[in-house]
Structure 1
Amino acid sequence: MPSVSRKGQQMPESPIRKLVPFAEKAYKANKTVYHLNIGQPDIKTPQIAMDAVSMHSLEILAYSRSEGSEGYRTKIANYYKRNEIPVEADNIIVTTGGSEALLFAMGSIADIDDEIIIPEPFYANYNGFATASGVKIVPVISKIEDNFALPPISEFEKLITPKTKAILICNPGNPTGYLYSKEEIKTLAAIVKKHDLFLVADEVYREFTYDGYEHYSILQEESMAEHGIIIDSVSKRYSMCGARIGCLVSKNKQVMATALKFAQARLSPPTFAQIASEAALGTPQSYFDNVISEYEQRRNTLIRELQKIPGVIVGVPKGAFYCIVQLPVKNSDDFAQWLLESFDLNGETIMVAPAAGFYSSPGVGLNQVRIAYVLNEDSLIKAVNILKVALEQYKG
């Protein structure tokens, strides 16, 4: 019998999606499931984006350019300039989601067995992208006790070897909600310049910052012109996860020429989704003001309710819409499955994302989960109460 590849065997399961079969069984058992496991906003997509697709005048659904349509890239560049990120259309390649942008970035800057340093916990799919690209992740562990603050720079420098090609951050962070300060970005910029590395920043949650904090992009640093690569997406910004439109942004011409070859190999990003995404750029600031206010209230409610549960420790996010929660359990994978398979409170249960999959270090995060606060406040309060009762009953 033929066998599958070693790469395929090593490809990790998604901690976010692997429990879906158990959720489906819960639905069939007529349970209500509160989804705290996935960053699918319940905020409505801007109507101008939906209208742009429904009112299109295309007669042929044709390929677009491999780098994305010129009109859309020009408007993205204008969006960045409004956010004090000075780039042009030719510094942008439109991708099929931020996921493809990350794959293009890894493929463009790293060879097989090269290394990328990432503060962990990190977005779980970085593990999958690294496996697919043959790249080794070298983790720098940040701790919930420190609210996942950036580890000392000395910890990064200890890990740099001749195989190191980049440092990758998510800012604000998924799954922690950590927001890098301007000073931390400048420090990271100095490290990559000193060691001639790339600094890759996943900035898809740029708009979502709280408590008066502001996002500072790596490409606001002039010194990052040759070293900086931004990963971006419309998924969270406009509540358009299903559009699967992102982009890779860099002023490094060699990086962009290389990434374009990967883009040409997959032909082009989807046409209708580009139409919707281009229209979404006309969304008024009031939309974001309302959304950010809503998420900040949800965050405050979630953290307040979680802190009432004995034995629970929670990191307080400054951005995005996730937090890591440490539970008084030994194995959150088992607990998350038990919640769906064997537990309910008056016909209701919750679905969480076990956090071990957000680390690459073995044995770390086994008693943690990621919670996405993408539900309304009433639902969040109900969900946390279900979690409290579940922890009292769980014997695992």
Structure 2
Amino acid sequence: MRFRTTITIGHVEPPGNCGLMELNDDCLLMICERLSLGDQLKLIELQEKRLSSLILHLWSGRYAKQFDFGREQHLKLLKCDEQAKLLDYIGRRTRALINLPGTSECCRIWLKRKRKVFTHIQRVSFTKSSSLLIQKLPHLCPNMVDLKLGEGVDLTPIDMDCLFKNLNNVRSFELLSNSHCRQFEYQYPRSLETLKLPACMVNARVSEIFQLPRLRLLTAFLCRNSGHCHLDDGKANASGTGTLSACLQQIRGHNCRIVGLRLQCRLDDCLPVVAVEDIFRLRYFAWHSQLTVHYDVADGSVTWMPQRPQAVRSLLCFLATQAASLRELDFTRNAHATPTFLAQLDAHLKRAGGCPTTQLTNTNTHVSADVEADADADSAETNDLAFVELELLHLPNEQSEASTGEMTAMRD
């Protein structure tokens, strides 16, 4: 391909006859593909019909499945109004908008503008969310199936009630944290099939959550506010503890339809010690337990606070009830996984007819670099408080309620 550049002094060619526009559509498209999103947007704003059509066609193909706001580094160079215009253009041509900065000025401009409803968008996710977003989003994307709000900024139960009442098709919902998470007491949509919440929020409404008729996968993780909102005088607040026991009790008390359950919460000493293998089958169990440091301001003394002995004994008995299905243990970053503890666990598993710890996959001794990086992040978030990760799959009704393909998809 050969390009010719000419300079004519004293004469300016009309834009419609410039050398660039003499190229065919394929050549123009190749050039546009190599431009940043910002430059492509500026070409559209020239209102040259042929160029605009080519770029919009390019966006329709490139972002048809999803548009990841977080991966487009060039967006940082655009003004807020330009970012909002870009969301308008691409929002009409994609099925998913993900990693949007919901509390940013560009999103506020985008949400406030009058436009056609994006009925085709099924998945939306935010890194942060606000009350304005909650109020506008259901009317902008009424047919959403998958919604992730990220970190909530001063969201109220009224905001969430308004959101759920106007989203009739939502089947998957996720909220990472909220500054007032302990006050959240609202009704979740009965259409939910997948729910991901901080453990404190699950614990606050655990009975209602387990009665959702279509819920199949529940994930509860350590609240990011646990370092300050859930602690009182060095002791965990009631809303931050007991989640594991509370959820297991609800499984035993209801004919729930859940076939996948992942919990990340603090270990307590109320785990069920009766045979529960007929209620669920545990395949994976992780216990991360660093020693908590307590500093006494009065005399400057430092006390290392281990997990309560009752919790350790309760854990041994609980794991023994799951010996038949247990396949993986993870004691990474666990100050309590001493040789004595492991010997006691082996004895309990052998008496129950299960595999000893030496025959189970133990990620405590085979930790990859990625896992180590996650471990550091976990340690920072948990403030050195002991917590467990529990994964239950294949509850009793999964044989009639779910296919193998569905369960694999949910686990992924």
Report the TM-score, using the length of structure 2 for normalisation.
Answer: 0.24
Report the TM-score, using the length of structure 1 for normalisation.
Answer: 0.25
Larger Rg: 2
